[in-house]
Structure formats: C-alpha cells, structure tokens
C-alpha cells in the first residue's frame, strides 16, 4: 500500500526507530563504511609534517637600570617584530631555501619569488610568551614578553631542525647587531651634537672676549665701580687744583722775594765795608759803559776806563752777564725808548742815544746766549731759587696730574654713557652662552649615558636573547593527528549513516505497521500478516551480513594497524590503559 500520509515525528517510538534502522541498514552501513574508509586512507597516506622548535629567553640586563640605563626603550615584542621584518626579506629567505634545498630546481624556476616567500612564512612560526611582572617604576603589574619560540615545519625532520637552527642564529645575531648599532648610533649622534655645541660655545666665548675688550670698562658689572672711580677722581682732582693754587701763590711770593735779593753775595772788605759783588759791579759797569758809549767816542778816557774794568771783571768771572740779565735790561731800555719816542721825534738826540743803547743791549744779549752763565752765589737767593724751582716742578706735575684726572673722568663718564647699550648686547651674549652651555652639559651627560649603554651592549651585559631550548630533530610528526582523523572519521561515519537513513525514510511515503494504519483509517486491523522471506532473500541477506561483518572487521584491523604504526604501539597503549584502570 503506497499512500501519501503525514505523521508526527513525536509519535515515533523506540521500536519504530529500531524498525527504521533495520529496514534502512544498507543506507546506514554503506555511507558509514565509505566515510571510515576515507578517514583511514587520509590517516594512512596523509604525508607527515615535522616541526622543530626553539625557545629563546629574553634576559634582562645584568647591570641594574638605576646604575646604567639602556638607550633602547622599545619593548621586547616591538624589537622582535622589527627583527622579524629585517630577517624575513626576500634575499634571506631565498638564501635559506637554496642552502637547504627546500625546493627543487624545477620548483625554483616555476614558482614566483613572492609565492616562495609566502610559503616559507607559513612554514615558519613565531609565538610570543608573556607573563605578568611587576613594573619597578610604578609598582603596577603589566604583561611583558619574557620569551618567544621559533619553529619551522617541513616534511623532513632533519631539514626542519636545520632551518629552525638557522632562523635562531639569524634572530640572535640580528638582535645583537641591531642593539649595538642603535646604541652606537645614539652615542655618535650625541657626540656630534656635543662637538657642535662646544664649537658654538667657543665661538660665543670668543665673541664675548672681543666684546669685553672692545667695551672695556663699560660692562654692566663695572657700572657701580665706574661711579665710585668718578667720585674718587673728582675728589682727587679738586685736591690737586687746590694744591696748584697754593703753589701758584707760593711761586709769586718766592719771585717777589727773589726780585729784592741780588743773585750774588756782596764782598766784605778788611775795614768792614761791604761792597758789591763782582757780578753786580759788572752789571753796573756795563750799564755805565752803555751810557758813556752813547755820549762819547770809543777813545774817550771814561769809556776806555770802563771798558778796561769790564774786561778785568769778565776775566775774573770767566764770563759776562747772563742773557737773562741782558733781557731784563733790554726790556727796561726798550720801555724808555718807547717813552722818548712818544715825547720826541725820531731824530732827537735823546731818542738816538736811547736807540744806540737798545741796539747795544740786543747785541750783548745775543752774544751772552752763547756764553756760559755765572751761577748765583748768594745763599739767600739760591735758597729762594731752589724753592721756586721746586714749586714750579710741583706745579708742572700737578698740571699733568690734573690733565690725567680730567681724562680719566671723561673716560669713565664715557663708559657710563655707553653702559645701557653695552648691557643690552652683553646680556644677549651671556644669555646665548648660558643657554648653549646648559645644552652642552645636558648633551654631555646624555653622551656619557649613551657611551655606558654602548659598552653595556658590546659586552653583552644588557637585555639579550638567550637560547634555552635549541631546536632538536623531531621524532614524531607535528601533523597530521592521525588518531584525531580516525575519531573524526568514526563520528562523521555515524552521522553520514544516520543522515542517509533519515533522508531515505523521509522520502519514502509508504505506510508501515499497524500503528500508522490505525492512525490513518481510525480503526485497528483485525489481524496482521508478517513479511515472509523466501530462500533467495534469506541467502542474499546472509551474504550481505557476512560482507558487512568482514568490512567492519577489516576496518577495525586497519584502524588498529594505523594506530600501532603511526600513533602509538598497541602494547604501549594496552599498558597505559591497564595502568589507568589500576590493573598493573
């Protein structure tokens, strides 16, 4: 009976499901066996991939950071990423591929370089290992990379180990090179900056020295000093002027006293009479001789007598009158001549006589300038003359001193007048010098720290990579996980069988069983006649059953063989199971 009918799945009982399973055993067994066979084939023939792994520890620097601080401030994970970018270049990857024959010559020719790089990067694995550590700077916990693993996957375990070891060497060498270069670059940069600042400071110091030399005395720090010097100099100048005034007064007094005293001492006669000195007598005779010569001829007895006495006295003195005496007499006689000319005509006998006297004195004065001077011998006059000369010398010294003091005051006043402009330029130079000096000190301090950091890295005392687990040749493949493939295959086989049976049952619209018939017509049947198998059908079912049992047995045997040879030996697995159960 084939009728379309809709039945509620909730009415299905366990017996119905068993009946369906019995009825659809072909749809269950065939897909299940097919999936299991495929899983077995995949587990058996999937080529193994070996993974060689190395663990690199990121060691902290040996010297405390409070004593020596590294100039590399980036975190470890950042450094690892930078190193990876530098290592995973086309040139490095192609060198490794060629060195370890990762590809055949044909594959190298036919495969683009970018694809080779991508495949190599897929085969290489880098994993960061982090931990929560306490930050000593702020006392807070933070996650820090303390190590990382490098691994390489390949079908050949030995090649996987060699390539992994090559990658470890590249990472460790690149890290050392990068850190050394960074510290050296930092130290060199700071050294160049310090040298440039030092050159600038030297240039500014030279400019400042030239400025001080050019504006000596007008610098800001000398302002009060200049005021004090001007004040003291003014007081000294006033004192010098007062002393000079006293000296001028003293000179006038001495000159007045000297005018009243003869330069030459008078001679005391035996009878006690005091007569004029030879020099004074010579002066008197010269005066008388000029007067007589103006009146008489040269052979007049008085003129001859006076001339003889004058010659005797000059012979006695060894010289004649001084040019000074002649000058004084000449001035007196010239004054008389002027008065006579004002009274008489130019041809008057008195005027002519006085003119001859003046002419004679002029000649005698000129002649006296060529003769040695008779030194005064009057003690009183000599004393006064000495005092006068001393006063004149002091006066000249005071005059020079006053001039020097005036020049000094003018110089310091000029310094004060220039002080505002000088102070502005001086302040700018000093500010620039101080700024560059502070920068130089700061850069020099940083340079010393950079040099220490450079030594720290070159001697491998800073943060470094330490290989704690070198890559070893793996004994077991990393993938595939054959046991997992088998387990998943069994699960998928069950799902495939159940799904195939369920789908067949849903597509079959036949009415089966008394319950479905009763639900359809609403009346229970009087009797049911079971399906009777003929001999051919029984024989066919028996063959199918034996075939299924054989397939299942073969599948189980194949699974055991795969587990034994590719996962774990069966005796070891049996021992582990019995130990877990506590039987051993």
Per-residue confidence (pLDDT) for residue 238, from 0 to 100: 92
Q: Label residue 444 by pLDDT band (50, 70, 90).
A: confident
Percent of the chain with pLDDT over 90: 4
Does the pLDDT value for residue 280 go beyond 80? no
Could you read off the pLDDT of 452-473 as tens digits, one per residue?
Answer: 777 766 666 667 778 888 888 8
CA–CA gap between residue 401 and residue 436 (Å, rounded): 47
Summarize the confidence of residues 2-21 as an average pLDDT: 53
Summarize the confidence of residues 18-42 as an average pLDDT: 73
Strands (E), 378-470: 464-469
Per-residue confidence (pLDDT) for residue 274, from 0 to 100: 47
Could you read off the pLDDT of 378-391 as tens digits, one per residue?
Answer: 677 677 778 888 88
Does the pLDDT value for residue 557 go beyond 80? no
Nearest to 144 by CA among 157, 130, 134, 162: 130
Q: Label residue 494 by pLDDT band (50, 70, 90).
A: confident
Total Cβ atoms within 10 A of residue 412: 21
Does the pLDDT value for residue 3 go beyond 50? no
Could you read off the pLDDT of 318-339 as tens digits, one per residue?
Answer: 555 556 666 767 777 788 878 8
Nearest to 103 by CA among 91, 116, 92: 116
Q: Alpha-carbon Rg of the chain, whole angstroms?
A: 69
Does the pLDDT value for residue 438 go beyond 70? yes
CA–CA gap between residue 417 and residue 422 (Å, rounded): 9
Does the pLDDT value for residue 84 go beyond 80? yes
Per-residue confidence (pLDDT) for residue 10, from 0 to 100: 44
Mean pLDDT of the chain: 76
CATH topology of domain 50-196+444-469: Bacterial polysaccharide co-polymerase-like (3.30.1890)
Give the DSSP H or E segment for 150. strand 141-154
Q: Say which residue, 574 or 84, is predicted with more confidence.
A: 84
Per-residue confidence (pLDDT) for residue 100, from 0 to 100: 85
Summarize the confidence of residues 80-90 as an average pLDDT: 85
Does the pLDDT value for residue 73 go beyond 60? no
pTM of the predicted model over 0.75: no
Domain locations along the chain: 9-46+480-580, 50-196+444-469, 273-375
Does the pLDDT value for residue 306 go beyond 50? yes
Per-residue confidence (pLDDT) for residue 459, from 0 to 100: 63
CA–CA gap between residue 580 and residue 408 (Å, rounded): 115
Quote the distance between the C-alpha of residue 384 and its chain's center: 82
Q: Say which residue, 416 or 512, is predicted with more confidence.
A: 416
Summarize the confidence of residues 497-525 as an average pLDDT: 69
Summarize the confidence of residues 168-185 as an average pLDDT: 83
CA–CA gap between residue 154 and residue 120 (Å, rounded): 10
Per-residue confidence (pLDDT) for residue 81, from 0 to 100: 86
- Helices within 296-378 (DSSP H only): 301-317, 323-343, 349-368
Per-residue confidence (pLDDT) for residue 29, from 0 to 100: 74
Per-residue confidence (pLDDT) for residue 239, from 0 to 100: 92
Summarize the confidence of residues 13-37 as an average pLDDT: 70
Identify the residue whose tokens are 């950042």. Answer: 78
């Amino acid at each position: 009976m084939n009728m379309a009918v809709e039945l509620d799945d909730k009415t299905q009982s366990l017996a119905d499901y068993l009946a369906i399973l019995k009825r659809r055993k072909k749809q269950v067994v065939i897909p299940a066996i097919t999936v299991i066979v495929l899983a077995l084939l995949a587990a058996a023939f999937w080529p193994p991939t070996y993974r060689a792994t190395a663990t690199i520890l990121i060691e902290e620097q040996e010297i405390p950071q409070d004593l020596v601080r590294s100039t590399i401030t980036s975190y470890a994970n950042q450094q690892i990423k930078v190193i990876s970018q530098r290592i995973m270049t086309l040139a490095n990857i192609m060198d490794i591929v060629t060195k370890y024959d990762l590809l055949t010559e044909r594959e190298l020719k036919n495969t683009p370089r970018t694809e080779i790089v991508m495949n190599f990067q897929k085969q290489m694995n880098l994993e960061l290992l982090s931990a929560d550590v306490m930050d000593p700077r702020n006392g807070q916990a933070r996650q820090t990379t303390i190590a990382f693993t490098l691994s390489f996957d390949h079908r050949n375990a030995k090649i996987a180990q060699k390539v992994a070891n090559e990658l470890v060497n590249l990472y460790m060498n690149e890290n050392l090179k990068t850190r050394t270069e960074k510290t050296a670059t930092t130290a060199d940069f700071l050294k160049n900056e310090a040298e440039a600042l030092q050159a600038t400071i030297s240039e500014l110091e030279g400019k400042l020295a030239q400025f001080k030399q050019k504006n000596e005395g007008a610098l800001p720090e000398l302002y009060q000093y200049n005021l004090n010097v001007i004040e003291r100099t003014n007081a000294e100048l006033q004192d010098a002027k007062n002393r000079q005034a006293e000296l001028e007064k003293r000179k006038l007094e001495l000159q007045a006293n000297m005018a009243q005293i003869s330069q030459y001492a008078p001679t005391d006669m035996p009878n006690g009479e005091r007569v004029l000195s030879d020099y004074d007598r010579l002066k008197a005779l010269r005066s008388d001789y000029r007067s007589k010569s103006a009146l008489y001829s040269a052979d007049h007895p008085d003129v001859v007598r006076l001339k003889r006495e004058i010659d005797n006295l000059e012979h006695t003195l060894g010289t004649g009158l001084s040019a000074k005496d002649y000058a004084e007499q000449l001035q007196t006689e010239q004054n008389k001549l002027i008065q006579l000319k004002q009274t008489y005509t130019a041809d008057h006998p008195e005027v002519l006589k006085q003119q001859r006297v003046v002419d004679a004195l002029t000649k005698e004065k000129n002649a006296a300038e060529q003769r040695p001077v008779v030194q005064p011998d009057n003690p009183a006059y000599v004393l006064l003359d000495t005092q006068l000369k001393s006063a004149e010398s002091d006066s000249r010294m005071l005059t020079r001193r006053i001039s020097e003091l005036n020049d000094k005051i003018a110089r310091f006043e000029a310094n004060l007048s220039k002080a505002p402009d000088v102070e502005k330029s001086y302040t700018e130079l000093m500010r620039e010098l101080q700024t560059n000096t502070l920068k130089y000190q700061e850069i020099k301090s940083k340079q010393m720290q950079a040099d220490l950091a450079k030594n720290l890295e070159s001697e491998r005392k800073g943060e470094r990579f330490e290989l704690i687990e070198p890559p070893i040749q793996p004994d077991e493949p990393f993938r595939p996980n054959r046991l997992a493939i088998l387990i998943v295959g069994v699960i998928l086989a069950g799902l495939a069988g159940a799904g195939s049976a369920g789908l067949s049952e849903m597509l079959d619209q036949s009415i089966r069983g008394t319950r479905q018939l009763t639900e359809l017509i609403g009346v229970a049947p009087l009797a049911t006649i079971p399906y009777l198998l003929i001999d051919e059908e029984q024989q066919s079912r028996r063959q199918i059953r034996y075939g299924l049992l054989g397939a299942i047995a073969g599948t189980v045997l194949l699974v055991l063989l795969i587990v034994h040879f590719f996962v774990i030996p069966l005796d070891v697995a049996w021992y582990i199971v019995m130990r877990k159960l506590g039987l051993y």
